[in-house]
Structure 1
């Protein structure tokens, strides 16, 4: 009698569906845990573009007020590195190259495995629009 019950294929579909739903839920929860990284990357790209544009208009890399505004808007606090053709101090001559690289870390958490820090980077380039005599 016990052999007959164990060999029976009746109800097998229920188990397959339950395992399939469990796998689907794991995939969806993993995608939801990754979503903040993509959002932070997009915000970091916008951050870099905005401060480079401000630096292009001013002709110098001292755009601290715009950086403070962007930090407040995005909630990010990235490390900022400028690569420029400096004229003097923090000034960049007309048509001089400007590049800013922003680096920040975002934690990805997946259930009990804890947070995994992921480093994201954004780069923006531009040219100075100010002529210094």
Structure 2
């Protein structure tokens, strides 16, 4: 006979074993399992709240790389880089502060660097225990345009 309960309970004459198990008040394993489940739930909640910060950092790095690449191809920091920044803001949902090492035309072979800074809130339990984290991304490149 198949049974989901322990074999001693399912076999004939198991009535005495059932009474003994019901009288047993130890429950040591139950407490351990409850603590383990609670710890796992807390770790998962922490990961769910912190993971978006890592995604935002990755997006900010890509944002900086694409802005610098636009400046390299155009050989200047101007309308093309501003348009690219607006496009990237729409795509990523980030609105970073953008600072360039140089503005205007950049001669062939000269280096340009961009620094992006934004603040992301890590709220562990909603607004309670919430604190801001400043994310920074830097990228640099070399102009590919010769200006006469």
> Would the TM-score normalized by the shorter structure come out above 0.5?
yes
Of residues 38, 43, 48 in structure 1, which corresponds to 2:64? 48
After TM superposition, give the deviation of residue 9 of structure 1 in Å.
Answer: 6.9
Which residue does the alignment assign to 2:85? 67
Which of these two proteins has the greater Rg computed from alpha carbons? 2
What is the TM-score normalised by the length of structure 1? 0.87
After TM superposition, give the deviation of residue 128 of structure 1 in Å.
Answer: 0.3
Any unmatched runs of 5+ in structure 1?
1-7
Whole-angstrom distance in 2 between the partners of 1:25 and 1:17: 12
Which residue does the alignment assign to 1:101? 115
After TM superposition, give the deviation of residue 83 of structure 1 in Å.
Answer: 1.1
After TM superposition, give the deviation of residue 59 of structure 1 in Å.
Answer: 0.6
Which residue does the alignment assign to 2:137? 122
Whole-angstrom distance in 2 between the partners of 1:94 and 1:69: 26
Say whether residues 1:21 and 2:37 are aligned partners. yes
What is the TM-score normalised by the length of structure 2? 0.78
Whole-angstrom distance in 2 between the partners of 1:47 and 1:121: 11
Whole-angstrom distance in 2 between the partners of 1:46 and 1:111: 29
Which residue does the alignment assign to 1:4? none
- Name the SS for the 1:109 alignment partner: strand
Whole-angstrom distance in 2 between the partners of 1:111 and 1:12: 31
Whole-angstrom distance in 2 between the partners of 1:118 and 1:110: 13
Whole-angstrom distance in 1 between the partners of 2:59 and 2:136: 11
After TM superposition, give the deviation of residue 114 of structure 1 in Å.
Answer: 3.6
- Structure 1, residues 31-61: CA drift from partner, whole Å, max 9, x if none? 1100100110111011001110000011111
**Greater RCO, CA 8 A, separation 6+:** 1
Any unmatched runs of 5+ in structure 2?
1-23
- Structure 1, residues 72-130: CA drift from partner, whole Å, max 9, x if none? 0001000001113xxxx611110101110100011111115342110011111100011
